[in-house]
Amino acid sequence: MKVAVVGATGLVGTKMIELLAERQFPVSSLIPVASERSAGKSISFNGHEYTVCTPQQAINAQPALALFSAGGSTSLEWAPQFAAAGITVIDNSSAWRMNPDIKLVVPEVNGHVLTATDKIIANPNCSTIQMVLVLKPIHHAYTIRRVVVSTYQSVTGTGTRAVHQLMNERNHQTGEMAYKYPIDLNAIPQIDVFLENGYTKEEMKMMLETCKIMGDDSIKVTATCVRIPTMGGHSESVNIECIQPFTLQSVRHLLENAPGVIVQDDPDNYVYPMPLYSKDKDDTFVGRIRLDDTQPNTFNCWIVSDNLRKGAATNAIQIAELLLEKGFVR
Protein backbone atom coordinates (compact mmCIF):
# COMPACT_ATOMS: atom_id res chain seq x y z
CA MET A 1 0.00 0.00 0.00
CA LYS A 2 1.00 3.65 -0.34
CA VAL A 3 2.11 5.08 3.00
CA ALA A 4 2.73 8.76 3.75
CA VAL A 5 5.02 9.88 6.57
CA VAL A 6 4.31 13.48 7.52
CA GLY A 7 7.33 14.99 9.26
CA ALA A 8 9.61 12.57 7.42
CA THR A 9 12.82 14.53 8.05
CA GLY A 10 12.44 14.81 11.87
CA LEU A 11 13.78 12.43 14.51
CA VAL A 12 10.55 10.46 14.88
CA GLY A 13 9.64 10.62 11.20
CA THR A 14 13.06 9.26 10.27
CA LYS A 15 12.60 6.46 12.82
CA MET A 16 9.15 5.67 11.39
CA ILE A 17 10.62 5.21 7.92
CA GLU A 18 13.41 3.06 9.33
CA LEU A 19 10.92 0.86 11.18
CA LEU A 20 8.57 0.48 8.19
CA ALA A 21 11.49 -1.23 6.47
CA GLU A 22 12.71 -3.11 9.56
CA ARG A 23 9.27 -4.53 10.36
CA GLN A 24 8.60 -5.26 6.67
CA PHE A 25 5.36 -3.31 6.59
CA PRO A 26 3.85 -3.81 3.09
CA VAL A 27 4.73 -0.43 1.58
CA SER A 28 4.38 -0.33 -2.19
CA SER A 29 5.29 3.35 -2.34
CA LEU A 30 6.55 5.73 0.35
CA ILE A 31 5.32 9.33 0.33
CA PRO A 32 7.64 11.38 2.56
CA VAL A 33 6.11 14.70 3.59
CA ALA A 34 7.75 17.70 5.23
CA SER A 35 7.62 21.49 5.27
CA GLU A 36 8.06 23.44 2.08
CA ARG A 37 11.71 24.16 2.93
CA SER A 38 12.39 20.41 2.85
CA ALA A 39 10.27 19.70 -0.24
CA GLY A 40 12.35 18.34 -3.09
CA LYS A 41 14.84 16.54 -0.85
CA SER A 42 15.37 12.83 -1.43
CA ILE A 43 14.80 10.00 1.09
CA SER A 44 15.97 6.41 0.62
CA PHE A 45 13.64 3.54 1.48
CA ASN A 46 13.95 -0.14 0.58
CA GLY A 47 16.45 0.57 -2.16
CA HIS A 48 14.42 3.34 -3.79
CA GLU A 49 14.67 7.12 -3.69
CA TYR A 50 11.55 9.13 -2.87
CA THR A 51 11.16 12.90 -3.16
CA VAL A 52 9.88 14.83 -0.16
CA CYS A 53 6.59 16.50 -1.00
CA THR A 54 4.05 18.86 0.59
CA PRO A 55 0.96 17.68 2.48
CA GLN A 56 -1.36 18.57 -0.40
CA GLN A 57 0.77 16.63 -2.85
CA ALA A 58 0.58 13.66 -0.47
CA ILE A 59 -3.22 13.84 -0.34
CA ASN A 60 -3.31 13.98 -4.13
CA ALA A 61 -1.23 10.77 -4.23
CA GLN A 62 -4.00 8.99 -2.24
CA PRO A 63 -2.07 6.85 0.26
CA ALA A 64 -4.06 4.37 2.33
CA LEU A 65 -2.25 5.40 5.51
CA ALA A 66 -0.51 8.51 6.83
CA LEU A 67 1.82 8.50 9.82
CA PHE A 68 2.03 12.00 11.29
CA SER A 69 4.91 13.29 13.39
CA ALA A 70 5.10 16.95 12.50
CA GLY A 71 3.75 18.75 15.57
CA GLY A 72 0.31 19.66 16.85
CA SER A 73 -0.42 22.63 14.60
CA THR A 74 0.37 20.62 11.47
CA SER A 75 -1.83 17.76 12.68
CA LEU A 76 -4.74 20.05 13.49
CA GLU A 77 -4.54 21.61 10.04
CA TRP A 78 -3.83 18.58 7.88
CA ALA A 79 -5.05 15.40 9.62
CA PRO A 80 -8.74 16.23 8.97
CA GLN A 81 -7.93 16.93 5.31
CA PHE A 82 -6.19 13.56 4.95
CA ALA A 83 -9.08 11.85 6.75
CA ALA A 84 -11.65 13.59 4.54
CA ALA A 85 -9.84 12.14 1.54
CA GLY A 86 -10.33 8.63 2.98
CA ILE A 87 -6.77 8.30 4.31
CA THR A 88 -6.32 6.74 7.77
CA VAL A 89 -4.14 8.98 9.96
CA ILE A 90 -2.05 7.83 12.92
CA ASP A 91 -0.93 11.00 14.67
CA ASN A 92 2.02 11.22 17.03
CA SER A 93 1.34 14.77 18.27
CA SER A 94 -0.76 15.76 21.28
CA ALA A 95 -3.35 17.45 19.05
CA TRP A 96 -6.02 14.74 19.13
CA ARG A 97 -5.17 12.65 22.19
CA MET A 98 -7.81 13.98 24.55
CA ASN A 99 -10.49 14.51 21.90
CA PRO A 100 -13.37 12.29 23.10
CA ASP A 101 -14.13 11.25 19.51
CA ILE A 102 -10.55 10.09 18.78
CA LYS A 103 -9.11 6.77 19.97
CA LEU A 104 -5.84 6.94 21.95
CA VAL A 105 -4.16 3.59 21.42
CA VAL A 106 -1.40 1.38 22.74
CA PRO A 107 -2.09 -1.89 20.87
CA GLU A 108 -1.09 -4.22 23.75
CA VAL A 109 -3.33 -2.30 26.14
CA ASN A 110 -6.44 -1.16 24.26
CA GLY A 111 -6.07 -2.16 20.62
CA HIS A 112 -9.54 -3.68 20.79
CA VAL A 113 -11.15 -0.19 20.71
CA LEU A 114 -10.15 0.37 17.06
CA THR A 115 -12.87 0.23 14.39
CA ALA A 116 -12.99 0.57 10.62
CA THR A 117 -14.50 4.04 10.97
CA ASP A 118 -11.52 5.50 12.87
CA LYS A 119 -9.84 7.79 10.35
CA ILE A 120 -7.71 9.73 12.87
CA ILE A 121 -6.03 7.67 15.60
CA ALA A 122 -3.88 9.27 18.30
CA ASN A 123 -0.50 7.90 19.35
CA PRO A 124 0.00 8.57 23.10
CA ASN A 125 2.76 10.49 24.81
CA CYS A 126 6.01 8.52 24.94
CA SER A 127 6.19 8.42 28.75
CA THR A 128 2.56 7.36 29.01
CA ILE A 129 3.01 4.47 26.58
CA GLN A 130 5.75 2.74 28.56
CA MET A 131 3.95 3.24 31.87
CA VAL A 132 0.55 1.86 30.78
CA LEU A 133 2.19 -1.29 29.41
CA VAL A 134 3.21 -2.06 33.00
CA LEU A 135 0.00 -0.77 34.59
CA LYS A 136 -2.40 -2.77 32.41
CA PRO A 137 -1.87 -6.30 33.84
CA ILE A 138 -1.62 -4.94 37.38
CA HIS A 139 -4.87 -3.01 37.06
CA HIS A 140 -6.65 -6.02 35.57
CA ALA A 141 -5.61 -8.23 38.49
CA TYR A 142 -5.57 -5.87 41.48
CA THR A 143 -7.33 -2.61 40.45
CA ILE A 144 -4.97 0.36 40.66
CA ARG A 145 -6.09 3.15 42.97
CA ARG A 146 -3.23 5.63 42.56
CA VAL A 147 0.01 6.13 40.61
CA VAL A 148 2.84 8.51 41.52
CA VAL A 149 5.38 8.82 38.72
CA SER A 150 8.60 10.80 38.29
CA THR A 151 10.19 10.71 34.85
CA TYR A 152 13.79 11.09 33.75
CA GLN A 153 13.45 11.90 30.06
CA SER A 154 16.00 11.80 27.26
CA VAL A 155 16.90 14.91 25.25
CA THR A 156 15.79 13.02 22.14
CA GLY A 157 12.23 13.61 23.30
CA THR A 158 12.71 17.29 22.52
CA GLY A 159 14.22 16.68 19.09
CA THR A 160 17.32 17.33 17.03
CA ARG A 161 17.97 20.80 18.49
CA ALA A 162 18.20 19.34 22.01
CA VAL A 163 20.59 16.59 20.92
CA HIS A 164 22.77 19.25 19.30
CA GLN A 165 22.66 21.38 22.46
CA LEU A 166 23.80 18.45 24.61
CA MET A 167 26.62 17.49 22.27
CA ASN A 168 27.72 21.13 21.89
CA GLU A 169 27.95 21.45 25.66
CA ARG A 170 29.89 18.21 25.95
CA ASN A 171 32.32 19.46 23.30
CA HIS A 172 32.54 22.95 24.86
CA GLN A 173 31.01 24.57 21.79
CA THR A 174 28.38 27.27 21.52
CA GLY A 175 25.23 26.82 19.48
CA GLU A 176 21.45 27.06 19.43
CA MET A 177 19.80 26.32 22.77
CA ALA A 178 16.75 24.05 22.86
CA TYR A 179 16.39 24.65 26.61
CA LYS A 180 16.56 27.78 28.74
CA TYR A 181 19.40 26.22 30.76
CA PRO A 182 22.37 23.93 30.04
CA ILE A 183 21.32 20.28 29.96
CA ASP A 184 24.71 18.56 30.29
CA LEU A 185 25.49 17.72 33.95
CA ASN A 186 22.04 19.04 34.79
CA ALA A 187 18.41 18.03 35.35
CA ILE A 188 15.64 20.39 34.26
CA PRO A 189 12.35 19.88 36.13
CA GLN A 190 10.26 21.25 33.27
CA ILE A 191 9.03 19.50 30.14
CA ASP A 192 6.72 21.65 28.01
CA VAL A 193 5.01 24.76 29.38
CA PHE A 194 3.69 25.32 32.89
CA LEU A 195 -0.07 25.42 33.33
CA GLU A 196 -2.18 27.37 35.85
CA ASN A 197 -2.29 24.39 38.26
CA GLY A 198 1.53 24.35 38.55
CA TYR A 199 1.95 21.17 36.52
CA THR A 200 3.60 21.16 33.11
CA LYS A 201 1.74 20.15 29.98
CA GLU A 202 3.84 16.95 29.82
CA GLU A 203 2.80 16.01 33.36
CA MET A 204 -0.87 16.59 32.57
CA LYS A 205 -0.55 14.46 29.43
CA MET A 206 0.59 11.52 31.54
CA MET A 207 -2.14 12.06 34.10
CA LEU A 208 -5.02 12.38 31.62
CA GLU A 209 -3.86 9.99 28.91
CA THR A 210 -3.34 7.12 31.35
CA CYS A 211 -7.00 7.09 32.37
CA LYS A 212 -8.19 7.33 28.76
CA ILE A 213 -5.99 4.46 27.54
CA MET A 214 -6.81 2.28 30.55
CA GLY A 215 -10.51 3.07 30.15
CA ASP A 216 -10.88 3.97 33.82
CA ASP A 217 -11.18 7.53 35.09
CA SER A 218 -11.03 6.35 38.72
CA ILE A 219 -7.24 5.81 38.53
CA LYS A 220 -5.52 8.72 40.26
CA VAL A 221 -2.23 9.74 38.63
CA THR A 222 0.21 12.46 39.66
CA ALA A 223 3.43 13.14 37.75
CA THR A 224 6.69 15.09 37.85
CA CYS A 225 8.57 15.15 34.53
CA VAL A 226 12.29 15.93 34.34
CA ARG A 227 14.65 16.32 31.39
CA ILE A 228 18.09 14.74 31.88
CA PRO A 229 21.20 14.54 29.64
CA THR A 230 20.69 11.02 28.34
CA MET A 231 19.97 9.47 24.95
CA GLY A 232 18.51 6.06 24.37
CA GLY A 233 15.29 6.16 26.32
CA HIS A 234 13.07 7.61 29.02
CA SER A 235 13.14 6.30 32.60
CA GLU A 236 10.38 6.40 35.20
CA SER A 237 10.18 5.83 38.94
CA VAL A 238 6.62 4.63 39.56
CA ASN A 239 4.75 4.05 42.83
CA ILE A 240 1.59 1.97 42.32
CA GLU A 241 -1.16 1.60 44.93
CA CYS A 242 -3.73 -1.14 44.39
CA ILE A 243 -7.10 -1.82 45.96
CA GLN A 244 -6.68 -5.60 46.25
CA PRO A 245 -3.70 -7.18 48.06
CA PHE A 246 -0.96 -8.87 46.05
CA THR A 247 2.42 -10.55 46.41
CA LEU A 248 5.59 -9.42 44.68
CA GLN A 249 5.84 -12.88 43.17
CA SER A 250 2.43 -12.47 41.54
CA VAL A 251 3.34 -8.97 40.27
CA ARG A 252 6.53 -10.25 38.68
CA HIS A 253 4.65 -13.16 37.12
CA LEU A 254 2.09 -10.80 35.59
CA LEU A 255 4.78 -8.52 34.19
CA GLU A 256 6.86 -11.41 32.85
CA ASN A 257 3.82 -12.44 30.81
CA ALA A 258 2.74 -8.94 29.75
CA PRO A 259 3.09 -8.30 25.98
CA GLY A 260 5.83 -5.82 25.14
CA VAL A 261 7.32 -5.93 28.67
CA ILE A 262 10.63 -7.46 29.75
CA VAL A 263 11.42 -7.83 33.46
CA GLN A 264 15.03 -6.99 34.41
CA ASP A 265 14.97 -7.32 38.17
CA ASP A 266 17.99 -8.94 39.81
CA PRO A 267 19.59 -6.22 41.95
CA ASP A 268 21.97 -8.68 43.63
CA ASN A 269 23.64 -9.05 40.23
CA TYR A 270 23.18 -5.39 39.24
CA VAL A 271 20.44 -6.19 36.75
CA TYR A 272 17.92 -3.39 36.22
CA PRO A 273 16.72 -1.31 33.26
CA MET A 274 18.84 1.59 31.99
CA PRO A 275 18.27 3.91 29.03
CA LEU A 276 21.72 3.19 27.59
CA TYR A 277 20.64 -0.41 27.02
CA SER A 278 17.05 0.23 25.93
CA LYS A 279 18.22 2.15 22.85
CA ASP A 280 17.03 0.67 19.54
CA LYS A 281 14.77 -1.86 21.29
CA ASP A 282 10.99 -2.04 21.00
CA ASP A 283 10.33 -3.55 24.43
CA THR A 284 9.60 -1.75 27.67
CA PHE A 285 11.82 -2.83 30.55
CA VAL A 286 10.82 -2.94 34.21
CA GLY A 287 12.85 -3.65 37.35
CA ARG A 288 13.55 -2.52 40.93
CA ILE A 289 10.19 -4.10 41.81
CA ARG A 290 9.78 -3.79 45.58
CA LEU A 291 7.12 -3.25 48.22
CA ASP A 292 6.35 0.20 49.54
CA ASP A 293 6.39 -0.49 53.28
CA THR A 294 4.76 2.84 54.15
CA GLN A 295 1.26 1.75 53.14
CA PRO A 296 -0.61 -1.44 52.17
CA ASN A 297 -1.04 -2.85 48.65
CA THR A 298 1.63 -0.61 47.15
CA PHE A 299 4.85 -1.27 45.26
CA ASN A 300 7.58 0.65 43.46
CA CYS A 301 9.18 -0.08 40.12
CA TRP A 302 11.53 1.44 37.53
CA ILE A 303 10.42 1.53 33.87
CA VAL A 304 12.63 2.28 30.86
CA SER A 305 11.89 2.35 27.13
CA ASP A 306 13.31 3.83 23.93
CA ASN A 307 11.17 6.94 23.51
CA LEU A 308 11.77 7.20 19.75
CA ARG A 309 10.75 3.59 19.17
CA LYS A 310 8.05 2.19 21.48
CA GLY A 311 7.41 5.70 22.79
CA ALA A 312 6.62 7.00 19.31
CA ALA A 313 7.49 5.33 15.98
CA THR A 314 7.10 1.66 16.92
CA ASN A 315 3.77 2.19 18.65
CA ALA A 316 2.45 4.08 15.60
CA ILE A 317 3.50 1.30 13.25
CA GLN A 318 2.07 -1.35 15.60
CA ILE A 319 -1.25 0.50 15.33
CA ALA A 320 -0.89 0.36 11.54
CA GLU A 321 -0.12 -3.36 11.72
CA LEU A 322 -3.23 -3.92 13.83
CA LEU A 323 -5.36 -1.98 11.34
CA LEU A 324 -3.94 -4.13 8.56
CA GLU A 325 -4.58 -7.32 10.54
CA LYS A 326 -8.20 -6.30 11.15
CA GLY A 327 -8.67 -5.38 7.48
CA PHE A 328 -9.36 -1.72 8.30
CA VAL A 329 -6.70 -0.52 5.85
CA ARG A 330 -5.62 -2.19 2.65
Question: How far apart, in whole angstroms, are the C-alpha atoms of residue 200 and residue 202?
Answer: 5
Cβ burial 183-202 (10 Å sphere, 16+ → b, else e) = beeeebebbbeeeeeebbeb
SS3 237: strand
List the catalytic residue out of 53, 126, 225, 242.
126
DSSP type of residue 125: P
Q: Which residues, other chains included, contact 76 with Cβ-Cβ below 8 Å and sequence gap of 6+?
A: 95
Q: Give the number of residues written for the chain.
A: 330
172 is an active site residue: no
Pairing of strands 220-227, 144-153: parallel
| CB distance 90 to 319 below 8 Å | yes
List the catalytic residue out of 53, 225, 234, 301.
234
242 is an active site residue: no
Q: What is the residue type of 14?
A: T
SS3 98: coil
| Sheet strands side by side (includes 120-122) | 29-33, 2-6, 65-68, 88-91, 120-122, 103-104
136: left (phi over 0), alpha (psi -120 to 50) or beta: alpha
The residues that are catalytic are 126, 234
